[in-house]
Amino acid sequence: MEMSEDMYENAGYTADRKSEDKNVYENMHVNGHTGTQRTRTENRRESQSSGHETTGSRGCRWAAVCLGLLCVLLLVATTVLWVMLNKLPTETVERDGLQQKLSNLEKAMQQGWTYFSGTLYYITVGQKNWTESREDCRERGADLVIIKSREEQEFILNNLRGNKAWIGLTDRETEGVWKWVDGSSLTTEFWKEGEPNDVRNNEDCADIQDLPDKKNWNDMPCSHEEGWICEKSFSVIHS
């Protein structure tokens, strides 16, 4: 009987032990499963958080790029505006200067001047000696004409209209050394055939005559009276 009781007690102990082991196993299984789910959830949250951070970083970069481009465009627009504003006064001055020149040219032509290649010419058929003719030109802000090209020579002949007139050429200082009134030497010349001949050693001033031949300069006594031609640069016309 004692042995049966011991066996019974051992059997009960064994059953209780198995029940406890089962409970422990179940608890471990539940806890393990719960832990795994918790780990997965945490990983998912971290992944989502990382995704949000990546998207946010990209947005910040695009915002920075757009801001940089906007700054560049603003700088370009400011530069262009600055150039235009600085150019405007210059264009205004140039336009006003051109209008003033045109006004001066119109006024000069009304006073009897003729324009050619940047120069104004005053051709008169009055009667004055060479010295008086030069004085008249100076009073007009000019001087006796200096002819330095074939084109200028032809222009004067086309406007001389059958007359003759003093030009700004003389050898008063040194006989035979012809110089213009500005002191420059004679380089281009259109002397009539046989001229200058200094008749009676008294022909020290030159005039131009309207002849068929384009070579039509002649030396004359400076005291002789005839027409004259004044010349001045268009740029020195005053209102």
pLDDT at 179 over 70: yes
Average pLDDT over residues 30-45: 50
Domain ranges of the chain: 1-100, 111-236
pLDDT of the residue at 12: 46
- The owner of tokens 């001229």 is 195
Q: Cα(53)–Cα(31) distance, rounded to whole angstroms? A: 32
Kind of pairing between the strands at 226-233 and 164-170: parallel
User: Which pTM was predicted?
Assistant: 0.60
Cis before 221? omega within 30: no
The answer to whether residue 198 scores a pLDDT higher than 60 is yes
Give the CATH number of domain 111-236; options: 3.10.100.10, 3.40.50.720, 3.20.20.60, 3.30.1490.20. 3.10.100.10
